[in-house]
């Protein structure tokens, strides 16, 4: 970083705290790794608006429980 002590000394010192670790960057670009990165990168949930805002019972969580409980009950009855 440039030594700009003649102006804005304290600001230059603050900015110097922002260092960056440079990763190993292969010279040649791998299309495959780009695709993998794109597919694996975190994205917003497209149906996030359907998720309940606070913890609650939803049909998707209740139905499997009811269905699995119904099997032994049906076996006992019939």
Partner 1 sequence: MNQPEAVMEAWQLGNEEAFEQIYTAFHGPLYSFIYRYTRDEPFSVDIVQDTFLRLQTNKHQYDPSKGALKSYLFQIAYRLMINKLNRRKKWRSLLPFLVPSQESSLHPAEKLTVQQAVSELPDLQRAVILLYYYHDLPQKEIAAILHIPLGTVKSRLHQAIQTLKTHLEVEDL
Could you list the residues that contact partner 1 (CB under 8 A)?
1-2, 4, 8-12, 14-15, 17-18, 20, 22-23, 25-29, 34, 37, 41-46
Q: How far is CA 18 from the centre of its chain?
A: 24
Of 40 and 66, which CB lies nearer to partner 1 in the complex structure?
A: 40
Spatial separation of the C-alpha atoms in residues 21 and 5, rounded to whole Å:
24
Of 11 and 62, which CB lies nearer to partner 1 in the complex structure?
A: 11
Q: 5 burial class (0-12, 13-18, 19+ CB within 10 angstroms)? A: exposed
Residue 53 CB, nearest approach to partner 1 (Å):
18
């Amino acid at each position: 970083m440039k030594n700009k002590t003649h102006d804005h000394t304290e600001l230059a010192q603050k900015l110097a705290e922002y260092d960056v670790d440079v990763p190993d960057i292969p010279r040649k670009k791998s299309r495959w790794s780009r695709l993998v990165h794109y597919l694996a990168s975190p994205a917003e949930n497209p149906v996030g608006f359907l998720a309940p805002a606070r913890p609650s019972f939803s049909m998707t969580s209740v139905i499997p429980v009811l269905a699995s409980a119904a099997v032994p009950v049906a076996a006992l009855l019939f």
